[in-house]
Structures are given as structure tokens and as C-alpha cells.
């Protein structure tokens, strides 16, 4: 293996790797020998098919597999031998790959993780938030719990849709009398409310009669999120089949017992209050951790590798798309919205990348570790809490790279928790930071 290293910037490196013919031939021989033992060709006993015939039928597949294996193996070897640690996976470009002549040359371009020694973080202080939950907040939480246990009752003796009703209805959008693709919906259960139903369809349904087609036109701007109706004047046609009203249970001792381990409403209120206090404390701690991290970032300028920022940008876009899809936004529209304001996304990605570098460096300085058992416990908790997505979650964390990513995330959490524990004042509360110390929102 011949390796040439180019320094294209302070952090960027480019390796050009060229393999000796003997190295390529050795891997080709191994691949064809493995194939010969596993494949069966008509007219030949298992393990006795001629290599020429194997090359004819499976040559492209074998060459592709061999190139992939050699590139991965020799890239790793070159990095280890030259003590180079990419911050993200190298970008591979194959420059010459004629395996018939046993020739393989490729490049691996990557950024190095900057060497950091984080300073001026030990003496920081943040006030500890004073957590208070009032009765109105408890009442609001109980009301939300009550709404989650509501039932639907079919409306009798009324055939006109009113605000807040739930209806089973069919919809379709038309432009100039022609149906618009992807707008047809059959027998959907929807709530007639402006903040719930998309595209202003609540206006079409409000006042509609059962089994009578209702029509209403609406215009949408050219930049509307739903591409199929963006820039169009759409005539919506809807037919209501059934009307339901929501029935809410009374908040009393019986309601409390239905929630599980509570004997009466007093116990349920106490549990709700405790949950709200715990949530408020978590949110306050998150603000304090971010405030600490912002101060540390200000005191420790660091050059962020381009490839790391690009990876974080892709991650942010993927997270945005996932959140929008969970809210019911079609994937294509979610992708478009996630890619709006690219400069803002890039700035957030750069800050996230910088934060990760700083926290990782502090973890090394403080010798923070996360054991494999801790990762296994976290995975088990995630899978258990995933409900109907348990199998999907288990499969996701069955891949080593995802467990590695989780371990990195847990290590950062532990490091920030360590900093917060050290920094929080025992005497001061939020809004009463001693002079010279950082408020939690800094």
C-alpha cells in the first residue's frame, strides 16, 4: 500500500491510497474461493465451478464487493498507521479501479478533530431555579388529562355540523371543475376546528348537512406548504356522513381511580403537581446547562471542521422533517420547509457542532465515562417506552453505529450534568445571581 498525505487546510487532509497488485489479487482470490464454495452452477459439482465461469456470471458483483472491502480496510489501516482521527467518515473517491489488471487507487478526504484544551470553565456559577407550581397549572393539567379520556357520542336529532363537532366526512379539491391529485380523502374522522383541520376545511364543514355535498372555494398562496394546492383557487367538496360530540368525564374521585393507583382526587392532584414540578425542574436545568455551555463557548473559540457542520446540518433537517411528519405534514412538504432558511440552519448546525467538540473535550479532561451496561440500560428504557414502535426501536439500536452515537450523547449529558452540579449555587435562586456570576439564561 502506497499512501500520500496532502494537507489542504489546517484541519483537512487528503489521502491518496494505491494498492499493490498482489494485495488486490489476494482479495479477489479469496472472494472467488468463497463464492465457489457457496454457489451452485448447473453441470458442476458444488465447489468445482471454473473461475472463468464465476467471473462471467458474478464478476461485477464480486468486483464491487472487493473494492468496497479494500477501500474500507486500507483506509482504516492508513489512518491508524499515520495516527489520523477523522471527525466524520472520510469522503471516498475511486480514481482508478481496473481489477482485471489488479489496479486500485482512491482518495479519502476528511477533517481532523481539533485538539482542544478547554479553559475557564471550573469556576462558573449559575443560580438554582426556584420551582413553583400553582393551583391553576394543576387544574390545566387535569383538564388536559380529562380531554385525553373523552369519548365520542353520536349526535341524534341534529343534522347540521357545528363548531367543535367531530364528523366522518369525505373531501376532494377541484380546480376548474377537475379533481386535484392527492386531495381526495374518504371517510375521515376530523374535528371541525380552525386550529385542528388543515387548509381551512373547517369552513367547508361548518353548517354542512349530513349526506348533502357542501362546497366552498379557497385560494392558496404560491408558497403554500402543500404543493398540490399552492397558488390555486380550490373548490372543496365535502360530504358529512355522521356527526359526533365529545363527552368529557367529570374530574372526581371515580376519575382519579380510573387513572390507576390513586384512591381519590386528592392523590391524583398531588401526583399531577409532582409531575409538573419535575418537568419544570428539568426545563430549568436544561436552561442552566445551555447557559453554562454558552459561557464556555464564549471563552473557548474553536475552529469547526466543515464536514462536522455539514453533518449537523443534515441531522437538523432530518429532525425537522421527522417532527413535521409526526404532525401530519406530507413528506415532500416537510422536506421543503426543513430546507427553508438554510443560513439559519447552518448557523445552528455550527453552534451544535462547536458545542459537541467543547463538551467532548471537557469529558476527556474530566475523565467522564459511560459504560456499556449504562448504554444497555438506556436502550432497554427507550425500547420499553416506544409502545407500538418497540420492534423498530430495538432494530435501530441493534446496529452498533447507533449504540455508539447513543453512548456519545449519554457521555455529553453526563458531562453537562457534572458541570451543572458544580456550578449551581446552594444559596441563590434564579434571578438572584451573586455579582460576577452567570445567570442561567446567559
pLDDT tens digits for range 158-213? 999 999 999 999 999 999 999 998 899 999 999 999 888 889 999 999 999 999 99
Q: 414 and 272, same structural domain?
A: yes
Q: 340 and 207, same structural domain?
A: no
pLDDT given for residue 220 in this prediction: 93
Residue 369: pLDDT band with limits 50, 70, 90: very high
> Of the given ranges (55-69, 197-211, 294-308), which has the lowest mean pLDDT?
55-69
pLDDT given for residue 96 in this prediction: 66
Residues 281-308 have a mean pLDDT of 92
Nearest partner of 15 among 65, 101, 74, 68, judged by Cα: 74
> What is the C-alpha separation between 140 and 115, in angstroms, rounded?
50
pLDDT given for residue 149 in this prediction: 93
Q: Is the pLDDT of residue 275 over 90?
A: yes
> What is the C-alpha separation between 353 and 331, in angstroms, rounded?
26
Q: 304 and 396, same structural domain?
A: yes
Phi/psi of residue 178, each to 5°? -105, 135
Last residue of a domain, one of 57, 79, 111: 111
Looking only at the bridges linking them, the beta strands covering 151-154 and 233-247 are antiparallel
Q: Is the distance from CB of 328 to CB of 197 less than 8 angstroms?
A: no
- Sign, CA torsion 168/169/170/171: negative
- Could you give the 3-state DSSP secondary structure of residue 375? helix
Task: Give the residues across from 110 on adjacent strands.
Answer: 13
Per the structure, the complete domain to which residue 363 belongs is given by 126-132+267-429
Q: Which residues touch 337 (CB under 8 Å, ≥6 apart)?
A: 225, 320, 324, 329
Note whether residue 118 is domain-resident.
Answer: no
Q: Is the pLDDT of residue 440 over 60?
A: no
pTM score of the predicted model = 0.69
> Of the given ranges (131-140, 182-191, 202-211, 336-345), which has the lowest mean pLDDT?
336-345
pLDDT given for residue 425 in this prediction: 63
Q: Is the pLDDT of residue 290 over 80?
A: yes
Q: 173 and 295, same structural domain?
A: no
**Cα-based distances in Å from 108 to 3, 89, 104, 362:** 10, 9, 13, 29
% of the chain residues with pLDDT over 90 = 58
Cβ burial of 148 (10 Å; 0-12, 13-18, 19+) is exposed
Q: 272 and 406, same structural domain?
A: yes
Q: What is the DSSP letter of 263?
A: S
Q: 408 and 302, same structural domain?
A: yes
> What is the C-alpha separation between 274 and 259, in angstroms, rounded?
15
Q: 272 and 419, same structural domain?
A: yes
**Which tens digit of pLDDT belongs to each residue from 414-434?**
999 999 999 886 444 554 444
Q: Is the distance from CB of 104 to CB of 263 less than 8 angstroms?
A: no
Q: 404 and 341, same structural domain?
A: yes
pLDDT given for residue 442 in this prediction: 34
DSSP 17-59: EEE-HHHHHHHHHHHHHHHHHH---TTS-TT---HHHHHHHHH
Q: Is the distance from CB of 441 to CB of 431 less than 8 angstroms?
A: no
Q: Is the pLDDT of residue 409 over 70?
A: yes
Q: 333 and 243, same structural domain?
A: no
> What is the C-alpha separation between 161 and 206, in angstroms, rounded?
5
pLDDT given for residue 134 in this prediction: 94
Give the CATH number, domain containing residue 56: 3.30.70.1050
Task: Give the residues across from 278 on adjacent strands.
Answer: none
Q: What is the DSSP letter of 195?
A: T
Note whether residue 300 is domain-resident.
Answer: yes
Looking only at the bridges linking them, the beta strands covering 126-128 and 424-429 are parallel
Residue 44: pLDDT band with limits 50, 70, 90: confident
pLDDT given for residue 56 in this prediction: 83
Q: Is the distance from CB of 236 to CB of 208 less than 8 angstroms?
A: no
> In this predicted model, which residue has the larger pLDDT, 216 or 104?
216
Give the CATH number, domain containing residue 297: 1.10.3120.10
> Of the given ranges (57-61, 150-154, 343-347, 354-358), which has the lowest mean pLDDT?
57-61
As for how many domains the chain has, the answer is 3
Cα-to-chain-centroid distance, residue 161: 39
Note whether residue 14 is domain-resident.
Answer: yes
> What is the C-alpha separation between 236 and 208, in angstroms, rounded?
12
Note whether residue 439 is domain-resident.
Answer: no
Note whether residue 139 is domain-resident.
Answer: no
Last residue of a domain, one of 214, 247, 280: 247
pLDDT given for residue 441 in this prediction: 39
Note whether residue 398 is domain-resident.
Answer: yes
pLDDT given for residue 298 in this prediction: 93
pLDDT given for residue 34 in this prediction: 85
**Cα-based distances in Å from 291 to 125, 219, 286, 367, 369:** 10, 45, 9, 23, 23
Note whether residue 93 is domain-resident.
Answer: yes
CA angle 293, 296, 299 (to 5 degrees): 155
pLDDT given for residue 64 in this prediction: 86
Last residue of a domain, one of 247, 281, 309: 247
Q: 181 and 60, same structural domain?
A: no
Note whether residue 116 is domain-resident.
Answer: no
Q: Is the pLDDT of residue 334 over 50?
A: yes
Q: 280 and 238, same structural domain?
A: no
Residue 436: pLDDT band with limits 50, 70, 90: very low
CA angle 89, 92, 97 (to 5 degrees): 150
Q: Is the pLDDT of residue 306 over 60?
A: yes
Chain length of the chain: 442
- Could you give the 3-state DSSP secondary structure of residue 99? helix
Q: Which residues touch 191 (CB under 8 Å, ≥6 apart)?
A: 164, 165, 166, 197
Q: Cite the DSSP H helix spans in 170-328.
A: 201-205, 253-258, 265-299, 306-326
pLDDT given for residue 433 in this prediction: 45
Q: 186 and 75, same structural domain?
A: no
Amino acid at each position: 500500500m502506497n499512501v500520500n498525505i496532502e494537507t489542504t487546510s489546517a484541519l483537512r487532509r487528503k489521502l491518496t491510497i494505491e494498492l499493490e497488485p498482489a494485495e488486490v489479487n489476494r482479495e479477489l482470490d479469496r472472494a472467488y474461493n468463497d463464492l465457489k464454495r457457496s454457489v451452485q452452477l448447473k453441470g458442476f459439482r458444488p465447489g468445482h465451478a471454473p473461475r472463468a465461469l464465476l467471473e462471467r456470471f458474478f464478476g461485477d458483483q464480486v468486483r464491487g464487493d472487493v473494492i468496497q472491502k479494500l477501500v474500507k480496510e486500507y483506509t482504516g489501516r492508513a489512518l491508524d498507521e499515520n495516527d489520523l482521527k477523522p471527525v466524520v467518515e472520510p469522503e471516498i473517491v475511486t480514481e482508478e479501479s481496473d481489477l482485471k489488471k489488479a489496479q486500485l487507487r482512491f482518495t479519502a478526504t476528511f477533517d481532523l478533530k481539533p485538539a482542544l484544551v478547554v479553559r475557564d470553565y471550573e469556576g462558573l456559577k449559575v443560580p438554582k431555579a426556584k420551582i413553583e407550581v400553582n393551583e391553576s397549572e394543576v387544574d390545566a393539567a387535569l383538564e388536559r388529562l380529562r380531554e385525553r379520556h373523552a369519548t365520542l357520542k353520536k349526535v341524534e336529532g341534529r343534522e347540521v355540523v357545528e363548531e367543535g363537532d367531530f364528523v366522518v366526512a369525505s373531501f376532494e379539491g377541484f380546480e376548474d371543475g377537475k379533481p386535484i391529485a392527492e386531495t381526495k380523502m374518504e371517510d375521515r374522522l376530523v374535528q371541525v376546528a380552525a386550529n385542528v383541520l388543515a387548509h381551512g376545511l373547517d369552513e367547508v364543514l361548518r353548517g354542512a348537512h349530513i349526506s348533502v355535498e357542501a362546497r366552498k372555494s379557497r385560494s392558496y398562496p404560491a408558497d403554500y406548504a402543500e404543493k398540490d394546492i399552492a397558488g390555486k383557487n380550490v373548490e372543496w367538496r365535502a360530504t358529512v356522513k355522521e356527526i359526533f360530540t365529545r363527552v368529557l368525564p367529570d374530574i372526581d374521585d371515580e376519575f382519579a381511580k380510573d387513572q390507576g393507583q390513586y384512591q381519590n382526587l386528592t392523590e391524583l392532584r398531588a401526583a399531577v403537581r409532582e409531575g409538573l414540578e419535575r418537568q419544570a425542574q428539568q426545563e430549568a436545568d436544561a436552561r442552566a446547562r445551555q447557559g453554562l455551555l454558552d459561557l464556555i463557548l464564549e471563552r473557548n473559540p474553536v475552529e469547526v471542521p466543515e464536514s462536522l457542520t455539514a453533518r449537523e446540518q443534515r441531522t437538523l433537517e432530518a429532525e425537522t422533517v421527522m417532527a413535521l411528519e409526526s404532525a401530519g405534514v406530507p413528506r415532500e412538504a416537510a422536506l421543503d420547509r426543513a430546507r427553508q432558511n438554510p443560513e439559519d440552519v447552518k448557523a445552528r448546525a455550527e453552534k451544535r457542532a462547536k458545542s459537541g467538540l467543547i463538551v467532548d473535550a471537557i469529558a476527556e479532561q474530566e475523565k467522564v465515562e459511560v459504560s456499556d451496561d449504562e448504554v444497555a440500560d438506556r436502550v432497554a428504557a427507550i425500547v420499553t417506552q416506544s409502545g407500538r414502535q418497540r420492534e423498530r426501536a430495538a432494530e435501530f439500536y441493534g446496529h452498533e453505529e447507533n449504540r455508539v452515537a447513543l453512548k456519545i450523547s449519554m457521555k455529553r449529558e453526563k458531562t453537562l450534568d457534572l458541570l451543572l452540579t458544580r456550578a449551581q449555587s446552594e444559596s441563590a435562586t434564579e434571578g438572584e445571581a451573586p455579582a460576577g456570576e452567570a445567570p442561567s439564561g446567559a
